Amino acid sequence: MSAVPVIDKTVKSFWIDVLKAPFNTWSPEEVLSYFQSRKGITYFAVADEAEIVREKIDNILADRFSFNEETYALPELNWLVNPSTDIEWSIMLHKFYYAVGLGIAFKETGDHRYAEKWIELTSSWITTVPVDFLSSDVTGRRIQNWVFAHYYFVTECPTESVTPEFYVQFLTSLHQQTSYLCQHLTPARNHRTLELYTIFLVAVVFPELKDSDYWLQFATDELLKNVQADLLDDGVHCELSTDYHHIVLRNFLAVKRLAVLNDIHLPSQMDDSIKKALEFSVYVHKPDGTIPSLSDGDTGNFLSLLKQGYDLYGCEEMLYVATQGKHGIAPAYRSKAFPSGGYFILRSGWGEDVDAYQDERYLAFDCGALGAGNHGHLDLLSFEMAAYGQSLIVDPGRYTYDESGETNWRVLFRGTSYHNTVMVDGKNQTCYEFHKEKFKIKGPQPDYELKAFVSRPGFDYLHGIARSNEYPVVHERKIVFVNGEYWVICDVLRADDAYNYDLLFHLAASAQGKVSLDSDQHCFSVDAPHLVMVQPVYKSATVSEEGGYISPTYGVKQQAPVIKFTQQGAECCFYTVIYPYKNERPTLTVSSIPVFKNHETCKPYAASCLVIISETEDHVYRDMVFVANEPGEFKVEHYAINSPIFFQREDEQGQLLAQFDYASLNVSETIKYRQGN
């Protein structure tokens, strides 16, 4: 164990500058005793569940450190040397998440080895590492975790292992790092939020520190500016990462909770923004309680944040989703648009009718910007789909920020080929090239347009358009959600010259080795666990299963199949029926019937009509889904249709059960958004 240095004259002098009067006149023994028995300040510890697993914490007792799926034995720990090629490993070491795990282990076991290891590592860091080592957000996270460890070792379970000498060292470093952070804040976005929350936290938990009053006012003022700058009108965080959205939301909620617990006033505008961010969280959570990992970030469960939102604001919808339908009131909307963030959520229901909450069907569609900062993926018009408690078509995630090695996994996971959209000539939607030390976005992002979002009982419809600056091809994607049961995805590609079009669907890791493909002269069929995909064959189309990966969390990649439909031409189209099921596979027949315009047969990219016959134990339905990609009147069977979307359902006796005609909607019933560069 590293020796804790005794207090010399220099430390004593600085000690006077760290604490307010009268505390700066007390002895170290008196200060420690005061903080161990102090009342009147209420705070809480926040743990990263993945980093406090007891096995990982016990390994640290043996000087074995595991981060991001890499483990190193470091009996002679050198804080300034990274044993990994990935800078994120060193960052995790310096963030001290394990300090909280050591505190929890000590509280649960009373084993002083955990306290002694915390003191050893903390003291070693203080005496070895310059305050400006690594970035400010690392400083912010480390300070937070030190305060959370303090909660266990000093406030909750005072231990003799914490000596007055160490405590002087600890408070002095805490003051120094917080002062440094105030002067070196990240200019914007999620790191700035984290750092401001850190300053607020130290000011609230340690009002005895000399600069705490200034820190509290500074952090409060800047947090208001930060929340207003970073959260868009619809509550989505400006970086457009679902994971970072929740990380930022967690920080703002922690600020609010600390303020409530300690009777500190916060501006009402901050509450307004937090509630909007919580609303996005309500809708973006999948029925199984996790979020899709759209853009940089991991998947995960943030339902505890919605429970905090309910506790703070009393919103019954937050409680309903936090408890997965057990308590509270179901959200007012089944499907929801977040146009500023570019996310559109389709859902079959909230578990209040026939299906259980976890069994509802869900789709998140991306038709928006790349996002502020450097966390956006090249995934315009991509989507993620879940049903019956399973994520079936998934966004593969981020995997890593490290670009070393023979395969640049960072570039792959961020690129268009690792998303559920159409790739043109094997190119990314945006120019993404090597520049100096790593790959960077070098070209303008695509223009995008959300032409329609419609949600009505039994029918949902989305229509988005992408225009890349990397190739002269317009990609239109229309998504029809039929009675909360299945989807029809229409992809139309238009250009003056011929291109190669790859329509990609990334399946879950659970489908690895369990996919079968079939085809005849009319249709391609894909069978995967709990999922059937059928696509009418057009031109020289092909289908194949490719090898791929998904990453549920940083540093972890799992093999997962990719379904690729391919066509070549100038104007091409794909119509894909995506039918999830719970237990028994339905019998599904899909056919394309002729569409006429001006007495001539339409090309499929101009208009198409699918007849989808689904047979289960409970029903036999004959659905007709008509999609027009140009204006005009069309003839289908005995129908004259003057609408971009027409749907009807009949039972096996031919009785009409449902009908939807987009042209019959009032303008107020459609939502249109347009955005570009």
Q: What is the DSSP letter of 262?
A: T
What is the residue-wise DSSP string for 321-384?
Answer: HHTTTSSS---S-SSEEETTTTEEEEES--SSSSS-GGG--EEEEE-S---STT---S-TT-EE
Domain of 301, in residue numbers: 231-351
Tens of pLDDT along 622-656?
999 999 999 999 999 989 999 999 999 999 999 99
Task: Return the bridge partners of 350, or none.
Answer: none
Last residue of a domain, one of 292, 316, 351: 351
CATH of the domain at 579: 2.70.98.70
* Number of C-beta neighbours around residue 160 at 10 A: 7
Q: How confident is the model at residue 17 (pLDDT cuts 50, 70, 90)?
A: confident
Residues 454, 560, single domain; the answer is: yes
Question: Is residue 170, in this structure, part of any structural domain at all?
Answer: yes
Task: Look at residue 592 and tell me if it is in a domain.
Answer: no
Domain total in the chain: 3
Encode pLDDT of 95-104 as tens digits: 999 999 999 9
Q: What is the secondary structure of 218-261 as a DSSP string?
A: HHHHHHHHHHHHHB-TTS-BTT--HHHHHHHHHHHHHHHHHHHH
CB hemisphere CA count around 183 (13 angstroms): 8
Residue 667 pLDDT exceeds 60:
no
- Per-residue pLDDT, 12: 58
With beta carbons less than 8 A apart as the criterion, state whether 208 and 32 touch: no
- Both 394 and 504 in one domain: the answer is yes
Residue 507 in this model has a pLDDT that exceeds 70:
yes
d(CA 648, CA 1): 74
For residue 61, is pLDDT > 60? yes
CA distance 371 to 169: 42
Neighbour-count burial of 566, counting CB atoms closer than 10 A to its CB (0-12 exposed, 13-18 middle, 19+ buried): middle
Nearest CA-CA partner of 362 in 347, 352, 351: 347
- The DSSP code sequence of 600-641 is EEPPTTTEEEEEEEEE-SS-EEEEEEEEESS-S-EEETTEEE
User: For 163-221, how does the pLDDT look when each residue is reduced to its tens digit (9 = 90+)?
Assistant: 999 999 999 999 999 999 999 999 999 999 999 999 999 999 999 999 999 999 999 99
Tokens 């505390």, residue located = 23
- Residue 639 belongs to some domain of the structure: no
Are 401 and 468 part of one and the same domain?
yes
Co-location of 34 and 148 in the same domain: yes
540 and 439 within one domain: yes
Same domain, 433 and 346: no
In a domain, 215, yes or no: no
pLDDT at 544: 97
Identify whether 607 is part of a domain: no
514 & 411 share domain: yes
C-alpha to C-alpha distance for 82 and 319, rounded to whole angstroms: 43
Q: H or E stretch including 474? A: strand 474-482
Which stretch of 3-7, 221-225, 233-237, 322-326 has the lowest confidence by average pLDDT?
3-7
Kindly state whether residue 601 falls inside one of the protein's structural domains.
no
Mean pLDDT of 504-529: 96
SS3 content of the chain, % helix, strand, coil (to 5): 35, 30, 40
What is the CB-side half-sphere exposure of residue 633 using CA atoms within 13 A? Answer: 5
Are 416 and 560 within one domain?
A: yes
**CATH number of the domain where residue 50 is located:** 1.50.10.100
d(CA 461, CA 457): 11
Burial of 44 (0-12, 13-18, 19+ CB in 10 A): exposed
If asked whether residues 103 and 245 sit together in one domain, one would say: no
Question: Which one of 551, 584, 617 terminates a domain?
Answer: 584
Looking at 297, 323, 351, which one is the last position of a domain? 351
Tell me the CA distances in angstroms from 534 to 364, 461, 576, 610, 615, one per residue in order: 21, 19, 6, 11, 15
Can you spell out the DSSP letters for 68-122? TTEEEE-SS--TT--SSS-HHHHHHHHHTHHHHHHHHHHHHH--HHHHHHHHHHH
Residue type for position 645: I
* Contact indicator for 310, 303 with CB cutoff of 8 Å: no
Interval 521-538 mean pLDDT: 95
pTM tops 0.85: yes
Kindly state whether residues 121 and 43 are assigned to the same domain.
yes
Dihedral class, residue 183 (left if φ above 0, else alpha if ψ from -120 to 50, else beta)? alpha
Domain contains 275: yes
Kindly report the number of other CB atoms within 10 A of residue 664's CB atom. 10
d(Cα 540, Cα 584) in Å, to the nearest integer?
A: 33
**Cα 560 off chain centre by:** 20
Among 205, 203, 195, CA closest to 139: 195
Q: Which three-class secondary structure string do you get for 296-311?
A: CCCCECCHHHHHHHHH
% the chain with pLDDT above 70: 96
Query: HSE on the CB side for 625, CA within 13 Å?
Result: 23
Quick: pLDDT tens for 549-603. 999 999 999 999 999 999 999 999 999 999 999 999 999 999 999 999 999 999 9
User: Same domain for 160 and 18?
Assistant: yes
Same domain flag for 486 and 388: yes
CA 627, distance to chain mean position in Å, is: 32
The verdict on residue 608 lying in a domain is no
